[in-house]
Amino acid sequence: MSPPADTALPFQPGEGSDPEPRSPGLPARELQPGGPGLRAELPPERLQLEWVYGYRGRDGRSNLHVLGSGELVYFVACAVVLLDLSVRRQRHYLRHTDCVRCLAVHPDRVRVATGQAAGVDKDGKPLQPLVHIWDSSSLLLLQQLGSGSFERGVGSLAFSIAEQGTFLCVVDDSNEHMMSVWDWARGTKQAEIKSTNESVLTVEFDPRDSSRIITGGKSHVYFWTWSGASLSKKQGIFGVCGLGVGQRDPGLTPCPPRVGGEPGCPGSQTPLLSPHPVAELERTQASRPPVSPLCHPDPTPLPELN
C-alpha cells in the first residue's frame, strides 16, 4: 500500500543531497545569514576580566606567595592572580598562552617568574613551554626564557638569593626532568643537566651560596654543586631519624631554605634536611596529616616541624 501523495518520505542517507533546513516559523531563505542589518566586523566593546575564582593547588608546590606590596600571588589556568585582601581587589597577569604550572618570587619581592605547560593554539599549532619574568607592579613582561629549551612544561622555578636574584633555576617536565640555570636578565643558559626520571616537586638555591642547589620530589632529594657549565649532585639518604622502629619519612615539604642557618626542607616527619651532620633536633607535633606548604616571616626563626 502506497502512502498518501502529501506524506513526505523519511530522508535516507545517500539518496541525493541533504534536505533544505526548515523552520516551522520562518521560511528557509530568512534563516540564511545576510541582510542589511548584519555587521561583519567585531563590535568595538571589549570584555575586561574582573575576578578569577579558584586556585591551582592539587598538583603544585610553592604556588602561593606574598609580594612586597602585600598582595598574594598565585595562578589559576593561564592567569596569574595578584589579590589585595585589604580592598578585595584582583589584578591579573594574562600573557601566558597555556596553563601556568609554577611560580617563583624574586628576592626584591616585586619581580615574578612563572612557567607554563606546552599546548596548542586555536589553530592547532603547538605552543612551547616558556618562563616569563615580569614586574608585579606594572604587569610588564621583562624577559622570556626557554624557546626550544623545555619539553612538556616547566615544573619548578627558583631565583638565587646570594646574588640578589641574578640567576634562575628551571626544571622542566620532560622524562629526564632537565635542570638548567639561567642568567635571566641576559637570557643566557649557564648550565644544564638531566636530573632524574622521578617527578621533581621543588628546587631551591642555598641562600648564602648560589653554587649549591637542592631539588626534591618523588623518592629523592639531591644536593647539587654548580660550577661554570657543569652541575654535579649528591643523593640525600632517607632513613629513620629518631622516630621509632619502622617509622620512615613519607614525603618532602618545600620551604624557604633557611633553618638555623642551613638549607632545610622539613618533611611531614623529618624535621630537617641538611647536607651536613646534625647534632641535635627538637621536634614538635604540628600536624598528623602530611605538611605540604610552609612559610615563615624572615627573620623570625623557623621552628622544625614533624
pLDDT digits (tens, 9 = 90+) for 50-83: 999 998 888 777 889 999 999 999 999 999 999 9
Q: What is the pLDDT of residue 129?
A: 94
Residue type at 113? Answer: A
For 36-55, the pLDDT digits (tens) are: 667 778 888 888 999 999 98
Q: What is the pLDDT of residue 268?
A: 37
For 214-251, the pLDDT digits (tens) are: 999 888 899 999 999 999 999 988 766 554 444 444 44
Phi first, then psi: what are they for 80, rounded to 5°?
Answer: -105, 125
Contact 31, 25 (CB under 8 A): no
For 133-175, the pLDDT digits (tens) are: 999 999 999 999 988 899 999 999 999 999 889 999 999 999 9
Q: Which of 204, 211, 218, 252 is nearest to 232 (CA)?
A: 211
Q: What domains appear along the chain, each with residue ranges and CATH number? A: 102-235 (2.130.10.10), 240-306 (no CATH)
Q: Which three cell numbers stand for residue 46?
A: 571589549
Q: Which of 158, 193, 161, 190 is nearest to 177 (CA)?
A: 193
Prediction pTM value = 0.71
Contact 303, 288 (CB under 8 A): no
Q: What is the DSSP string of 107-123?
A: TTSSEEEEEEB-EE-TT
For 101-130, the pLDDT digits (tens) are: 999 999 999 999 999 999 988 888 889 999
Residue 28 DSSP symbol: G
C-alpha torsion sign, points 137, 139, 142, 145 = positive
Whether the predicted pLDDT of 259 surpasses 80? no
145-180 burial code (b ≥16 CB/10 A, e <16): bbeebbbebbbbbbbbbbeebbbbbbbbbbeebbbb
